[in-house]
Every structure is written in C-alpha cells, then in structure tokens.
C-alpha cells in the first residue's frame, strides 16, 4: 500500500462529480454563514441529517444570530432543542455562543484550535466548520468519512492509525472545494458505503477502492462474502437490546419534556413514577440532569422533588 496520505485524485474527482447530481437536499447546506454552520454541526452530532435539517430551520428562526442565542436563557434553548435528544449539546451550543459573543465580538472563529476550545466542539466539528464556513482545506473525520477513506486506501476501516487517517483526510481535500468535498465524502459514507452490505456497485469510488476490489475477488473465487458479523460480534447483534423505555436516557428525556411544557420559570413537582421508573429512579435522573446543567432543583433534600429548566 502507498503512504497513508495518498488518496487517489481520480477517486476524489469521481466522488465530487457524483455529489454534483446526487447530493442530499439538506436545508443547512444552503448557507455559508459560520454561525448557521456551527448550529447545524452541533445538531448533526448523533442525529440523522434529515431530522437535524428540520430542527435547524426552526432553531435559526428563533435564534438567527450568535448574539440572539447568547442572550437567550438556557430554558429557551432547551425548549427550541426539543426532539433532537442529547440535550447537553444544546447547553454546550448556548455556552459557545456566549463565549463567541464575549470573546470574539460575535464572530465565529476560523482557527481550528480555537474552535476546539469551545464547549462541545471536538476535532471533527472544528474541522467541519473550518472547511464549510471558511474554506480551510482540512479533512473532517467522523465515522462515515473514516469508513470511506479507510476502505478506499487501506482496504478496510481500523487499518490506519488515527494520525494516519487524519493525514489521509487532509491530503484528500481539494484546495479549491473543501466545503463540497466535506459534504460529498459524508454523503458517500451515509448513503452507499454502509458498515454492512455497502452498495459498492453504485459507489463512484469503486474503481479505486481496495475494499471493493477484495470483495469482488472473493465473489469471483466463489467465496462467501461476509455481510453479517460473526462470533462475539454476532452474538451481541442478536441479543435483544433493553427496551428503550427502561433506559435512563428515555427517563431523562421525559423529565425534560415535562419541564418544557411548564410555563417559563415555574417549578414542576416530579414525585411519582414515570413509565417503568419509580420515584427514586426519577430523583436520581433529576440530580444527574442538574449536574449536567439541564435543570434546576428547588431543594437539596429528597422530599422536595421540584425542578425547572435553568433560567440563567
């Protein structure tokens, strides 16, 4: 294999051509406003792109600028975030807006290191913002991108060390189209290069992909191409997951939904079971949410089980 930074230029061109006619129509892709892109990237973490796009449109209508978001209360932001889940992202976005308003005059910084110093912004999000909003030729690596680049160059994911993968991602970016490339390689990973049963036959990178070549060779030799995990991985797949309603994540979401439904600043009593969770589990979840800055408790003692969304 050639060096880890060698992504075939022809494969890159093919992916960009494919993207030109097959790009997903996502609302947040129509903007180059750094703040709007920051919001979209915060929403797209752990959320399907289409659902994030719908929420992004509503959220931008409510908080159209950094200053508008920074001036809002956490309760306002959490209400606007409803339906997206992983609510800590909303608080981090609000904290980031306040930092940008206070320290950068309301302008989203373009420097990757500075972006990563902001709440909730990791290496992928910082590079995505830099590429999409500011045209910086850097590769944003998430699970989808890791899979596409790793399969094309190394034959599979997990072969390259993280530092090699980042080198590969940075080297693949066209200097004049970093934003388009960021979206394009993401779309290939999300719609074609699936973890299992990838659609290699319709992938624009197939002629240069080591993974696709190896898969085709196995078919030609009459070997069965694994499409399902085996061994311990298979056992974990076939073991039924715990019902979602029994998880703490479900309970935390229901608690926040009840607080969202209350008038601004009003305390809500949560002293009964919620779903399959008894009052003691509800209390534990309330305290965990309070520790994460997602709600305020009226008192420290268990008998006082009142809470509200944070107002400051």
Question: Tens digit of pLDDT for each residue in 81-111?
Answer: 998 989 999 999 999 999 999 999 999 999 9
**pLDDT at residue 236 above 50?**
no
Q: State the pLDDT at residue 4.
A: 52
Mean pLDDT of the chain: 89
Supply the pLDDT for residue 232. Answer: 43
In this prediction the pTM is 0.85
Instruction: Note the pLDDT tens digit of each residue in 21-46.
Output: 999 999 999 999 999 999 999 999 88
Pick the CATH number of 9-191 from 1.20.272.10, 3.40.50.2020, 3.30.1020.10, 1.10.340.30: 1.10.340.30
Please give the pLDDT value at position 217.
76
The string of pLDDT tens digits covering residues 146-156 is 999 999 999 99
In this predicted structure, the answer to whether residue 286 has a pLDDT above a threshold of 70 is yes
Domain ranges of the chain: 9-191, 245-308
Mean pLDDT of 159-163: 92
Task: Say which residues have a Cβ less than 8 Å from residue 158's Cβ, sequence separation at least 6.
Answer: 150
Predicted confidence at residue 231, as pLDDT, reads 43
The CATH T-level fold of domain 245-308 is Arc Repressor Mutant, subunit A (1.10.10)
Q: Which of 41, 54, 164, 239 is catalytic?
A: 41
Residue 41 annotated in active site: yes
Q: Is the pLDDT confidence value at 309 over 90?
A: yes
* pLDDT for 161 beyond 90: yes
pLDDT of residue 229: 45
């Amino acid at each position: 294999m050639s060096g880890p930074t060698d992504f075939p230029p022809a494969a890159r061109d093919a992916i960009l051509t494919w993207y030109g006619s097959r790009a997903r129509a996502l609302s947040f892709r129509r903007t180059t406003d750094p703040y709007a892109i920051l919001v979209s990237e915060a929403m797209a973490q752990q959320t399907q792109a289409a659902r994030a796009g719908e929420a992004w449109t509503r959220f931008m209508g409510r908080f159209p600028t950094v200053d508008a978001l920074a001036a809002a209360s956490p309760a306002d932001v959490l209400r606007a975030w409803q339906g997206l889940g992983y609510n800590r992202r909303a608080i981090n976005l609000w904290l980031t807006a306040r930092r940008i308003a206070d320290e950068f005059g309301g302008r989203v910084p373009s420097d990757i290191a500075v972006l990563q110093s902001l709440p909730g912004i990791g290496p992928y999000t910082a590079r995505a913002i830099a590429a999409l909003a500011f045209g910086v030729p850097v590769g944003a690596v998430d699970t989808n991108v890791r899979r596409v680049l790793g399969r094309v160059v190394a034959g599979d994911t997990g072969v390259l060390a993280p530092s090699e993968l980042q080198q590969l991602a940075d080297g693949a970016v066209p200097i004049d189209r970093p934003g388009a490339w960021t979206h394009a390689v993401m779309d290939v990973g999300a719609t074609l290069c699936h973890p299992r049963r990838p659609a290699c036959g319709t992938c624009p990178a197939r002629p240069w992909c080591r993974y696709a070549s190896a898969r085709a060779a196995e078919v030609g030799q009459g070997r069965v191409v694994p499409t399902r995990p085996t061994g311990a991985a298979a056992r974990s797949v076939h073991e039924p997951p715990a019902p979602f309603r029994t998880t703490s994540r479900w309970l935390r979401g229901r608690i926040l939904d009840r607080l969202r439904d209350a008038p601004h600043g009003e305390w809500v009593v949560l002293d009964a079971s919620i779903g399959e969770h008894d009052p003691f589990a509800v209390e534990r979840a309330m305290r965990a949410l309070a520790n994460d800055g997602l709600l305020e408790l009226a008192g420290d003692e268990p008998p006082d089980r009142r809470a509200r969304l944070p107002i400051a």
